[in-house]
Chain A
Amino acid sequence: MTNATLTKAAPTTESLTTASPMKAKAKEIDYKPDVKKSARASSSLGADSNKPVTVKMGVYDLDLYYKDFQALNKINLEFPENQVTALIGPSGCGKSTLLKSLNRMNDLIEGCRIEGEITLDGADARKTIDVNSLRRRVGMVFQQPNPFPMSVYDNIAFGPRTHGIKSRSDLDEVVERSLRDAAIWDELKDRLKKNALGLSGGQQQRLCIARALAVRPEVLLMDEATSALDPISTAKIEELVGELKTRYTVIMVTHNMLQALRVSDKTAFFLLGEMVETGVTDDIFTNPQDSRTADYVAGRFG
């Protein structure tokens, strides 16, 4: 298993190095956080567990209301950089709501009100960062694959075009890099002009991941991104997440406890709008401190 992951991981490392000239070129049309990120990426490839953990995003004393209903209650949680954080808990516990607060997709819901603080790189994400640039920096993959009804190429190119990349050659590079990063280039390179709706569900979801990566986000939110997929597609995406965390901070909501155990470094357990417990994933599953966590991870309710 470990061997397989290692060999699978190798091409991505390679694509990273081949991608670096593009990165240098794209820098002038892109955003400065990327400069830092590429530096970080190379260092993190070497020593994964030993490097000091920085907080990429944080949520402090967060209360969230849908009109009168309080969906989240005093949540305090930090998301470490270049790690995968899993949010688990039964339906309706508020984990998806929290995820959607991080890129302000909750703004679309009428009557949604947030109190407390959400930070990105230490800055107040709701007050000091423009909503569109926040959403560029904090990408999202949805539960249902939602490729746009247009070609594979245009799907990927939409985000970069939105953020001002116009030249055909730059776009070609971004499309190829993004599809490679989402480990779907080989499957799609001959179908770039085909409508994305013709792809299988698993391919559509990886296309959506590629689309999210195309705008060079720093954080990737995944809202039960594998729950609509078959086991093989799910396995591919889990493997992909393991590779992505070397360059991105991943925060995922999942119903599947085994998935959290397989993929995540840190886990937070939610129940009825409260965060019951958080910690290193292995500890949460093997040695939970709260009896409710213990009951949930043991499958006694859910």
Chain B
Amino acid sequence: MANHALKEGFARILFLAAAGVSILAVALICVFLFANGVPAIAQIGLPDFIFGTTWRPANDVYGIFPMIVGSIYVTAGAIVVGVPVGLLCAIFLSRFASKGIARILKPGVELLAGIPSVVYGFFGLIVMVPFIRAHTPGNGLSLLAASILLGIMILPTIITVAQSALDAVPQKYYEGALALGANHERATFRILVPAATSGIMAGIVLGVGRAIGETMAVIMVAGNQPVIPESLFGGVRTMTANIVIEMGYAADLHRGALIATGVVLFVFVLLITMIFNAMKKRSEAR
């Protein structure tokens, strides 16, 4: 009996420790980021850092506004490309595809998730960039290329999460709609998709999280000029790209400014997660 209690107590501590590891990791990252980034922000001055439009480390001028705008543009572009395609694909897989087609499509989507981002970058650089260069002003390394590439990269996340949300909608809603004389399409788009809204939203958050944090593929196709892009065909530098490109040789305040860029990125992801959580809660309460 005592032996049993001992075992249970041990198991509980083991599980608690496992759960504690992830919390600890988040906490450590927070401490590291803020401890290294905040002093740099203080030295530069918060308004100058966030809203300064000039990034010139050689002169100790650190304004990351172009990179903030770049990250927002690229992520928004990825949403515009990825969400409609991903959502329709999830609906197709969940409610329209025959078993045979699903058997081919589903592994394809899963494979898309497994491709390393540097390979996506290569694809963008070799295929998309020359194509864009041939058909638009500019050299092809552009906001457009980054948006489309990221849009493709977030597809598997959105498709997988949205599809499982759609699959989880009770069949009784579908039957209820058909029994009122609705056809399959109407039952799907007017009843099943709205019923799966919160799950679909969750998929979009994850996709946005992936898009805003993506680095390698973006660096390879975006051009990386630290200026606000004047058009879809102009180059763009994201916050992640900013850090990776310069971290290798940065020192002192320059290094601090790059870590501070990471702080801003972190706050962004936090905000997005909170906004979507609030939306999710509201759609569930409704």
Contact = CB atoms under 8 A, between A and B. Distances in A.
Interface in B164-206: 170, 172-173, 175-183, 186, 190-191, 194-195
Given A148-B173, A148-B191, A158 B178 contact: no
Given A158-B190, A162-B186, A195-B286, A142 B172 contact: yes
Contact of A158 (B170, B175, B182, B195): B182
A58 interface: no
Interface in B234-286: 285-286
A163 B181 contact: yes
Given A135-B181, A162-B180, A146 B286 contact: no
A120 interface: no
A70 interface: no
Contact of A136 (B173, B176, B181): B181
A30 B173 CA distance: 25
A159 interface: yes
B180 A148 contact: no
A140 B173 contact: no
Contacts of B180: 135-136, 139, 158-159, 162, 211-212, 214-215
A79 to B, nearest CB: 18
Interface in A117-140: 132-136, 139-140
Interface string B5-48: 00000000000000000000000000000000000000000000
B173 A142 contact: no
A214 B176 CA distance: 13
A162 B194 contact: no
A203 to B, nearest CB: 16
Point out which of A144, A158, A163 has the most chain B C-beta atoms below 10 A from its C-beta: A158
A208 B194 CA distance: 19
Interface residues of A, number: 28
Nearest to A107: B178
Contacts of A215: 180-181
B234 to A, nearest CB: 44
Contacts of B286: 151, 195
Contacts of A162: 180-182, 186, 190
A103 interface: yes
A149 interface: yes
A148 B177 contact: yes
Interface of chain B: mostly helix, strand, loop or mixed = helix
A132 B172 contact: no
A108 B195 contact: no
Contacts of A163: 181
A228 to B, nearest CB: 12
A198 to B, nearest CB: 10
A56 B173 CA distance: 28
Contacts of B175: 105, 108, 142, 146
A41 B155 CA distance: 56
B176 A208 contact: yes
Contacts of B195: 148-149
Contacts of A133: 181
Interface string B66-96: 0000000000000000000000000000000
A211 B285 CA distance: 22
A158 B179 contact: no
A134 B175 CA distance: 14
Interface string A180-215: 000000000000000100000000000010011011
A148 B176 contact: yes
A45 interface: no
B160 to A, nearest CB: 22
A212 B179 contact: yes
B96 to A, nearest CB: 15
Interface of B: 170, 172-173, 175-183, 186, 190-191, 194-195, 285-286
Interface of A: 103, 105, 108, 132-136, 139-140, 142, 144, 146-151, 158-159, 162-163, 195, 208, 211-212, 214-215
20 contacts: A103-B179, A132-B182, A133-B181, A135-B178, A135-B180, A136-B181, A139-B180, A140-B179, A142-B175, A149-B194, A158-B177, A158-B190, A159-B180, A159-B182, A162-B181, A195-B285, A195-B286, A211-B176, A212-B179, A215-B181
